[in-house]
Structure 1
Amino acid sequence: MMQSFLLLLLCFLLPFLFIILFKSKPKPKSKSKSKSPKSYPFIGHYFTIYANRHRLTQWTSDAVLNSPNLTFLLRRPFGQSRVITGNPETVQHILKTRFSTYEKGDTFRTTLSDLLGDGIFNIDGDEWKFQRRVSSHEFNTKSLRHFVEHVVDAELNERLLPVFTFSAENNTVLDLQDILQRFAFDNICKIAFGYDPGYLTPSLPEAKFAVAFDDAVRISSERFRSITPLLWKIKRFLNKGSEKRLKLAVSEVREFAMKIVNEKKQELADKSSIQSVDLLSRFLSSGQLDEKFVTDMVISFILAGRDTTSAALTWFFWLVFKNPEVEKEIVKEIVEKSDCLGFDEVKEMVYIHASLCETMRLYPPVPVDTKAATTDDVLPDGTVVKKGMMVSYHPYAMGRVEKLWGEDWKEFRPERWLEKDEKTGNVTFTARDPYTYPVFQAGPRICLGKDMAFLQMKRVVAGVLRRFKVVPVEDDDNEPVLVSALTSKMKGGLRVKIKERK
């Protein structure tokens, strides 16, 4: 216990010691044009990290973009180093070529283990392969696709659009980010558990499970920003502060999830023949009866489906409002193809698809993703990686690389994703390779729910913009502040008014 206390004390005192040491004699300004942040012995880039702690995604993006090879070595206190890259060749090396070398790793697994357990997003090796195989089979069934269509349509027509109608009629202000999170949470709970939390209803209730889940995700993500994992581990051991709150939130989430699992098992046992629709029923019907196994898997899918689509849609509606010519083209496509809303038919909405991709280029739902090296390696650009080192790829930075997207990379321009056949006049969507645009990951771990995410987002866009204009209350030139936990959000939400479209 005394050793832990002394180490904790050292963590707080060391930065102040170096402030004294390096403040004693000012150094002459360097003539170098390099914008690389200053690194010091023992504490690395701690001062710059601390100064940018509220904008780490933007700061690391700047560091990557200012590097000649789009790869930056972040030095953390106590000799911890982390490679951060926005180089497509390096991303392919990490996610595909040397896939077995770069895993989630002990740091990632330990940090999220309380919430995710041994779910698919928190494991490696044979366990991951097994869960991936089981999940992939279910995600590729037409029956699940039809179920997702039904769930999304019901939530859209029975909850989201009525909330917007009420707001338009009464000229009220909504936090669009909150509304879309509620919409996504109801959707994913129905798809994963077959359970309706009723989070998006006119009263906008504080559903106990939803609040606990949000707390668990937020505090778990805060662990990554700790100067050393030892700090949050000590707090967890002492059951103090945020770790005490996390323990309570995770307990609430897992108790509720277990209750749903047991009820679903009983439901399946009571019926000789039952149509498996939600993911939990499918896993149980396929013989996966271990409660912890299915609970971990379903909690992971809720995490993946809760904030990603809502984050993308929040930024989408803000960008569309800022670009009225894009909104005009979207509404035109909605009117022309309003009946094409099935899983296969939404592929016809190419301009909306391009607009969503363009949104996620600028504001990817997961702005940074991290792996850990299982062996020593050398990246394609020559960067040496030691065993155990963290290696991150940075989709947020990659969407801002001029060499990849052109001089107009700052512009919200869906047309960059489209090609027109000069003979037929048909416009088709042209995807970028997944290592240039790794918003849905790439390689063996590419997102299983990608197609379903686009289905959900396209239906929301078509349903909302056909009837309404979404108008931010703070109509100025300032970009909303991006804050990143496990996913990217707008700081303070997005306050809007809903206007009936003439």
Structure 2
Amino acid sequence: METAAVELHTRFMPVLQTAADLNKILDLQDLLERYSFDNICKVAFNFDPGCLAGDGTSGSDFMKAFEEAATLSSGRFMYAFPILFKIKKLLNFGSESKLQKSIATVHKFADDIIKSRIKERAKQEEDLLSRFMGISEYSPENLRDIVTSFILAGRDTTSSALTWFFWILSSHPEVERKILEEVKTLRLSSGKSRRECYSFDELRRMHYLHAAISEGLRLYPPVPVDTKACLKNDVMPDGTFVGEGWFVTYHTYAMGRMESVWGKDCGEFRPERWLEMAETGGGTVVCRPENPFKFPVFHGGPRMCLGKEMAYTQMKLVAATVIETLVVEVVAEKPPEHVLSLTMRMKDGLKVRVRKR
């Protein structure tokens, strides 16, 4: 959490505050992706890409290549006949040619990180990549895949969730007001000023904010569709047969909008659906955890996302800090379009204007 807080207060917030001073329109989605990317690289690889350094526009080449690789890779699933993209790949033609160039850029970035960790292995770093490198069974290719997976999981998911969250919040001022009240109450009880970073315990006590973020995730999950491969013949609980090599896909986006699952108000953004009175009494309201098979944004069972708590902590840290100090105004006139990719991004980003409270 310390890494996320430092990145937030020394890089992310200054960019927003400068934009507020200059009355400048900026792309909040791009800014959040850079913030998340810097964070995951520091935590997982002990490497600082500096995407938010300076004016917040560093590292554009890699960011563009990574986004293009993710979008084109997911586009393969849209072919009615998979052999078509395989032919294009064989001939190095069209989208497959672009994909290979993007992948080469991503792989070079990952390889450079691995090489730097190998050189510094004597320092006995405690980052996640160093721990994997200590296991002899992982080849350089395995390590490269691990780096890529960490970047995808740590950068695109939280940034996507926060982008949609701020967009929803712009049309629900009553929710923003309640979040602000919760934040102010915590500040008063702790005696801290707005310039001080929230502690983990303070973030944990932000139940309404947690509920609001969860509600945003329900309506706009970062991974709207997920697919699993069947390793051997199996039968689902309802009796459905699934053969070896078959793919099973569930639609998290659709599930979050099903009346049979969430009730008649399933299309409404209503954080209160996540709140309940605490068992300890005293009129305390807490955010109620939902069944992961009803709310599979972080998966469920043995495949539950290991970074769930880290993601919530980071999202609450960013949201609380921004909402407490700035007013975010979305300038787009039309609802954003979805980008067909591995995660649910906005097609043209989220253009906003910020002003100080």
TM beyond 0.5: yes
Question: Match for residue 349 of structure 1?
Answer: 206
Q: Partners of 1:190 and 1:210 in 2: how far apart? A: 16
State the one-letter code of the partner of 2:337.
Answer: V
Which of these residues, 250, 260, 270, is aligned with residue 393 of structure 1?
A: 250
Is residue 417 of structure 1 aligned with residue 270 of structure 2?
Answer: no
State the one-letter code of the partner of 1:410.
Answer: G
Q: Partners of 1:462 and 1:345 in 2: how far apart? A: 11
Question: Match for residue 160 of structure 1?
Answer: 12
Is residue 177 of structure 1 aligned with residue 177 of structure 2?
Answer: no
Question: Match for residue 354 of structure 2?
Answer: 498
TM-aligned CA deviation for residue 288 of structure 1: 6.3
Contact (CA 8 Å) 1:199, 1:205: kept in 2 or not? yes
Question: Match for residue 157 of structure 2?
Answer: 308
Change (3 A) 1:252 1:479: closer
Contact (CA 8 Å) 2:225, 2:250: kept in 1 or not? yes
Question: Match for residue 2 of structure 2?
Answer: 150
Which of the pair has more CA radius of gyration? Answer: 1
Contact (CA 8 Å) 1:312, 1:363: kept in 2 or not? yes
Question: Match for residue 144 of structure 2?
Answer: 295
State the one-letter code of the partner of 1:280.
Answer: L
Moved more, 195-204 or 217-226: 195-204
Which of these residues, 267, 274, 290, is aligned with residue 120 of structure 2?
A: 267
State the one-letter code of the partner of 1:174.
Answer: L
**2:276 aligned counterpart, secondary structure:** strand
Change (3 A) 1:456 1:209: same
Question: Match for residue 209 of structure 1?
Answer: 62
Contact (CA 8 Å) 1:371, 1:392: kept in 2 or not? yes
Q: Partners of 2:278 and 2:8 in 1: how far apart? A: 35
Which of these residues, 166, 176, 186, is aligned with residue 38 of structure 2?
A: 186
Q: Partners of 1:332 and 1:286 in 2: how far apart? A: 48
Contact (CA 8 Å) 1:197, 1:207: kept in 2 or not? no
Contact (CA 8 Å) 1:279, 1:298: kept in 2 or not? no
Contact (CA 8 Å) 1:375, 1:386: kept in 2 or not? yes
**1:474 aligned counterpart, secondary structure:** coil
State the one-letter code of the partner of 1:165.
Answer: Q
State the one-letter code of the partner of 1:460.
Answer: V
Question: Match for residue 471 of structure 1?
Answer: 329
Q: Partners of 1:382 and 1:420 in 2: how far apart? A: 38
Is residue 325 of structure 1 aligned with residue 174 of structure 2?
Answer: yes
State the one-letter code of the partner of 2:289.
Answer: A
**1:337 aligned counterpart, secondary structure:** helix
Unaligned 5+ residue runs, structure 2? none
Q: Percent identity?
A: 48
Question: Match for residue 453 of structure 1?
Answer: 311
Contact (CA 8 Å) 1:258, 1:295: kept in 2 or not? yes
State the one-letter code of the partner of 2:142.
Answer: F
Q: Partners of 2:344 and 2:102 in 1: how far apart? A: 21
CA offsets 1:201-233 (integer angstroms, 9 cap, x no match): 315134333222222212111111112221111
Contact (CA 8 Å) 2:49, 2:59: kept in 1 or not? no
TM-aligned CA deviation for residue 163 of structure 1: 0.8
Which of these residues, 43, 50, 55, is aligned with residue 198 of structure 1?
A: 50
Question: Match for residue 220 of structure 2?
Answer: 363
Which of these residues, 81, 85, 96, is aligned with residue 232 of structure 1?
A: 85
Q: Partners of 2:200 and 2:126 in 1: how far apart? A: 16
Change (3 A) 1:237 1:263: same
Change (3 A) 1:207 1:492: closer
CA offsets 1:300-344 (integer angstroms, 9 cap, x no match): 111111110011001111111111111011011112224583334
Change (3 A) 1:335 1:288: farther
State the one-letter code of the partner of 1:359.
Answer: G
Moved more, 226-235 or 283-292: 283-292
State the one-letter code of the partner of 1:442.
Answer: G
Q: TM-score, normalised by structure 2?
A: 0.91
Query: Paired residues, what number?
Result: 347
**2:170 aligned counterpart, secondary structure:** helix
TM-aligned CA deviation for residue 375 of structure 1: 4.1
Q: Partners of 1:299 and 1:415 in 2: how far apart? A: 37
TM-aligned CA deviation for residue 175 of structure 1: 1.2
Q: Partners of 2:146 and 2:201 in 1: how far apart? A: 27
CA offsets 1:37-71 (integer angstroms, 9 cap, x no match): xxxxxxxxxxxxxxxxxxxxxxxxxxxxxxxxxxx
